[in-house]
Amino acid sequence: MNNTNENINQKVKLDDVANEAGVSKTTVSRVLNNRGYISEKTRKKVNEAVELLNYHPNEIARSLFINKTFIIGLIFPTTNNPFYGQLIFHLENICESLGYKVLLCNSEGREDKEKSYLEMLQRHQVDGIIAGSHNRGILEYDNPQLPLVGIDRYLSENTPVVSSDNYDGGKKATQLLIDKGCKKIIHINGSPSLETPANLRREAYEDVMKENQYYPQSYVIGENVIETIFNENPDVDGIFASDDLIASSVMKEAKRRNINIPADLKVIGYDGSEITRMLLPELSTIQQPVKEIANLAVRLLLKQIEGETESQIEWKLPVNLIESETT
């Protein structure tokens, strides 16, 4: 007893604290978790022993017993992207404030990685998963046991999806270009076959174009799309890109071709994440309410974890048009 060296070579456990304090481990557990009645004297003894031995409860053992890990899995394409970087920051932040930790998974948009991550997270007994990526939704996300929320992504029939109001965003972007006098407006987006809510950006674009008697022309992101667009449409005077990175590539290519923005070509992007706003403030864009999206996603997930049911599946949060110099 009173051996301050107990913690030298081995992790100290409940038993060690109990020995040090001269009580049973049940009592120590009770002190630590504030359960039942304990005399002030033993409480003090125990706390001193905890302090002395620098004891840290083993969450793994605890998790095994209570059958809950307080861990949330996050599956997104990559943190190396302004939008996802910001989203993941907020997701982690909110989880942390609610006592949850996050296991991070960079799927790189690859189905095989996503699949193995999903499996891994289940083995690790995560309490729930928040996933988003512009992948097809074929995955085994339909385990009814597993609390799940998608961000801008349909995961399975009944899993909640949180996203910005993509349709409204697409509408605002297209309308702005039209209002600014563009006649030949082109839209760039991911493949429609991915069936993500981001498709609504395209739908809105097409609807607004038609309403204004213009011919909608959407290109799918891929090898040299931007060059192709310029080559095939020398008279293009407006481009609505479905994210800011693409918009920045458009700007770069326009510069290379000596096309003046905004005089000859107007460009608007989508996302409006902090880093993009900082590094490319001249880009007009549709800003997503990233923090609110993260917040809602976490709350919907926790509801599921706590067994509450929520009938609403789709959640759309309002976007914000940022008019800058490229329009």
If binding is defined by CB under 7 A, does position 52 make contact with DNA? no
The SS3 assignment for 285 reads strand
If one counts every other C-beta atom within 10 angstroms of the C-beta of residue 189, the result is: 25
Q: Which does 158 bind (CB under 5 to 8 A by kind): a copy of itself, DNA, none?
A: none
Q: How far apart are CA 290 and CA 151, in angstroms?
A: 10
Q: Which of 37, 40, 60, 223 binds a copy of itself (CB under 8 A)?
A: 60
Q: Tell me: does residue 317 bind DNA (CB under 7 A).
A: no
Contact status: 8 vs DNA (CB under 7 A): no
User: Judging by DSSP bridges, how do beta strands 101-106 and 71-76 pair with one another?
Assistant: parallel
End-to-end CA distance of the chain: 75
- Reference 11, options 71, 53, 66, 65; nearest CA is 53
Strands in the chain per DSSP E: 71-76, 101-106, 128-131, 148-151, 161-164, 185-189, 217-220, 238-241, 266-271, 284-287, 314-317, 320-322
- Window contacting DNA (CB under 7 A); options: 9-17, 153-161, 171-179, 212-220: 9-17
What are the φ and ψ backbone dihedral angles of 299, each rounded to 5 degrees?
Answer: -65, -40
Minimum separation from the CB atom of position 223 to a copy of itself (A):
17
Contact positions with DNA (CB under 7 A) in 267-286: none
Distance of CA 321 to the CA centre of its chain: 21
The minimum distance between CB 181 and a copy of itself, in angstroms, equals 26
105 binds a copy of itself (CB under 8 A): yes
Which of DNA, a copy of itself, none lies near 313, with the C-beta cut-off 5 to 8 A by kind? none
Looking at residues 55 to 94 of the shown chain, list those that interact with DNA (rule: CB under 7 A): 57-58, 61-62, 64-67
Beta carbons of 125 and 69 less than 8 angstroms apart: yes
What are the residues binding DNA (CB under 7 A)?
A: 11, 13-15, 23-27, 29-30, 32-33, 35-39, 41-43, 57-58, 61-62, 64-67
Residues lying near a copy of itself in the complex (CB under 8 A): 11, 56-61, 63-64, 69, 71, 74, 78-82, 85-86, 88-89, 92-93, 96, 101-106, 119-120, 122-125, 145, 245, 248-249, 252, 273-276, 278-281
